[in-house]
Amino acid sequence: MERRSNDRFSIPGAQVIYKLSTGETGMTPLVDMAKCSARFSTHHFVTLGDSVNLEILVPEDDNICIRGNVVRLADPHQEKMTGAVVKFLPFGTIDGYNSFRVYDQLSRLVRQYIEQH
């Protein structure tokens, strides 16, 4: 089995609020995610390398605000929708990086949705 599929997990009912570098925004269901990326569908035009701000809305949990770049595009078999995979920027204290607090939130989700299932 491909490693990528092993690392990904779904969160029932999770949504993504996204803001593209063009300023366009939207809200859509979270398809799945991993510790380093998230996948969702959008009707907006996106290209590889676009920067994206995400707010991942996890039911009955804290929201995760995180930044990343589009690294993969795919047709999710919905008319006029594009599947986008956003790889998260590094974590750290350097300006522009995602915070270690977000890293801790993601680590907890991995434990909850991968390691316990």
Query: Which residue ranges make up each domain of the chain?
Result: 3-110
* Encoded amino acid at 93, one letter: T
For the record, the structure tokens of 19 come out as: 């803001």
pLDDT tens digits, 48-99 = 999 999 999 999 999 999 999 999 998 655 567 788 999 999 999 999 999 9
**Half-sphere exposure of residue 8: CA atoms within 13 angstroms, side-chain side:** 17
CATH fold of 3-110: Thrombin, subunit H (2.40.10)
pTM of the model: 0.87
Q: What are phi and psi of 113, to 5 degrees?
A: -100, -20
